[in-house]
Structure 1
Amino acid sequence: MKTFRNTLATIIAGSVALGALEAQAAYSPTTLTFAQSSGFETSSSSLTSTDNQGADDSIRWYEHLSGVTPPVGTFDTIAWGLPSKNNGGLMLTDPFTISGDVNTVYSGLRVTGLTGSVTTGADIGLWGAYQPITTLYHKNSTISGSAFTLKKATIGSNLSIGLYNDPYHQVPITFTETMNVGNVPGDCAAGAPNNSICDDLFKFQLTSFAPITFSIDGKTFEADFGIGLFHNSSTNFPGCDGSGVCTVWTAEGVISDLSVLMRIREIPEPASMALVGLGLVGLAGLRRRRNA
């Protein structure tokens, strides 16, 4: 029994000493570099349109070469709208051209992966500031009522943070092209919260941006993701629809954009937490014995 008590006392003393050392040591925030590579998958299982024969005919793609190079098998831009069958495959000119080009008739989505750095908060467990890691652009053009349009797409991404590489991640979206048939909101196929003429919209699941945990050089970090920096668009984020389905609207004739944001924090090592927890259990055990 004496040996047990001595051992327990040693564990408790070690736990208290560890806590004292952590309290005395000035915490130094960690800064990590990141690179997010993002693109639209163009396989038939990841891309669908209003064309019952398949999106390969009615959706085209383009490599804009902006930001980080997209993952293999993906492209940073997809477009649709004219002619009815776009013949699939790679476009030779940028569908996001806004004037003086036949491509002004196309609607499209573009995703641009970014590079930068992100820093933890001022102490263990505290979040640092959000940083944009990907920007998504939406071009809403007036297109022919006979044109085939996008219905679903999948964004594929690779994210590196410091020495950590997150596995390939997919974010499915659904899309609604509201065809222009008049000059007032009531003439549109779907309503628009900002009373614009025939807003197009896309939806995504908020759960697609779940946090991740990773370790670098003996430290454990958590990364948290969000959506923000909205320009020229309306959204029901962060409330969404109550079930995690978020919607973004873009007015006719406008290019909107939003960004995926990331922040990080350092979290205590599991071994340290276990040691402290064991010490607390030991204290509780001794207290019960004394009260017996």
Structure 2
Amino acid sequence: MRHASIGALGAIGLALAIASGTAAAAPINWDYTVTSSFSVLPGSTTFSSGSGCQSVSGSAITWGACPTGPAGPGRSGIGISNNPQTGTLATNGAAESANTYTHSNNVVSGAYATLRSATINATLGLRAAGTTDPYIYETATYKILFAETPNTAGTCAAASPVGNPCNDIWVLDGSLNKSITLGGDEYFFSFFASPALATLPDTVCAAAGAANGCIGFTTVEGQENEVNFLLKVTSTPLVVEVPEPASVALLGLGLVGLAGVSRRRQNKA
């Protein structure tokens, strides 16, 4: 396992071994709400060149055969469900459910334009549990890079089932540091995939237009690849261990996570 600091990884929340700092804080229960949405990256090429029909909304991005609509034969897409998600969680307690992402990975003609990049905006609202206090909101925005791989069996950049078209590739790109202040205190919050993300092999990163050592996941062709997000709030920074590329095949699917590092402010005497 590769050991790294939160700063070096852009504070990415992972669902593997996560160890918090030793400082303890009194548990605080929160009501929470999490809402996520897609948006187009300003000044970037969201789709590759080609024909077909492409669609971007807050809850779904689809591409491939016309007409636009739900993903199906000849058309792929990614969507967000369980959105918004609400519940109760405790500081330094167990992770709770957030939103769900589903990649409908279908065979798309090579003549069609396909997704290349987009952003996900994840907004977290917290308030003291059981109160009517207004929610305090923070939004984290991060970039994803996507590679629609050749839809034929053969030599694949990413490990793929034998005889199946190559897995498509999703990469998280950029530094993601966020924190939230409540009652004069700062808290760490993170969204992470279950199962976890992993460090992808350099050849897989390159296929998605990402630098070596990128972090992400791959999805199987011809399947509804569903990935659940979890949410955790802590009072101390987290240290994560990122799986080496050789471990990727054992991890299964994962999705981007985002996190923010914070420290609990000490009250003055």
C-alpha separation between the residues in 1 aligned to 2:194 and 2:220?
17
Structure 1 residues 223 and 114: alpha-carbon distance in aligned structure 2, compared to 1, 3 A threshold: farther
Q: Which residue of 2 aligns with 1:222?
A: 187
1:263 aligned partner: 232
Cα 1:32/1:244, change in 2 over 3 Å = farther
**2:55 maps to which of 54, 60, 71:** 60
TM superposition shift of 1:160: 1.0
TM-score (norm 1): 0.58
CA drift at 1:48: 1.2
Q: Are the aligned partners of 2:188 and 2:235 in contact in 1 as well (CA < 8 Å)?
A: no
Q: Quote the offset at 1:206 in angstroms.
A: 7.0
Query: Is the contact made by 2:136 and 2:182 (CA closer than 8 Å) also made in structure 1?
Result: no
Larger Rg: 1
Pairing 1:169–2:140 present: yes
TM superposition shift of 1:150: 0.8
Does the CA-based 8 Å contact 2:200-2:217 persist in structure 1? no
What is the percentage of aligned positions where both structures have the same residue? 20
- In structure 2, the partner of 1:285 is none
What is the count of residue pairs matched by the alignment? 202
> Cα offset for 1:104?
2.7
- Using CA pairs below 8 Å that are at least 6 residues apart, which structure has the higher relative contact order? 2
Whichever structure has more helix as a proportion of its residues is 1
Over residues 164-204 of structure 1, what are the superposed CA-to-partner deviations in whole Å (9 max), with x where a residue is unaligned? 433443221111001223xx442x5x332555531111111
Partner of 2:172: 204
Equivalent in the alignment of 2:122: 157
SS at match of 2:166: coil
Query: Where do 5+ consecutive residues of structure 2 fail to align?
Result: 1-24, 128-133, 203-211, 237-262
Aligned to 1:81: 64
The Cα offsets for residues 137-173 of structure 1, whole Å up to 9 and x where unpaired, read as 1111011121111111111232211244334432211
Q: Does residue 34 of structure 1 match 2:8?
A: no
Per-residue deviation at 1:120?
2.6
Match of 1:117 in 2: 87
Pairs within 5 Å for 1:92-103: 93-95=69-71, 103=72
Letter in 2 for 1:33: D
| Distance in 1, Cα, partners of 2:235 & 2:78 | 35
Contact 2:219/2:225, CA 8 A, preserved across alignment: yes
**2: CA distance between counterparts of 1:240 and 1:131?**
27
Q: Do the aligned residues in 2 keep the contact of 1:81 with 1:107 (CA within 8 Å)?
A: yes
Higher-strand-fraction structure: 2
In the superposition, relative to structure 1, how do residues 37 and 244 fare at CA in structure 2: closer, same or farther (>3 Å)? farther
What is the distance in 1 between the residues matched to 2:233 and 2:27? Answer: 10
**Which whole-Å CA distance do the structure 2 matches of 1:149 and 1:134 have between them?**
24
The CA distance in 1 between the partners of 2:84 and 2:217, in whole Å, is 21
The 3 A distance-change label for structure 1 pair 116 and 198 is same
Query: Taking structure 1 as reference, are residues 193 and 207 closer, same or farther at Cα in structure 2, changes over 3 Å only?
Result: farther
RMSD: 3.2
The answer on whether the counterparts of 2:160 and 2:220 sit within 8 Å (CA) in structure 1 is no
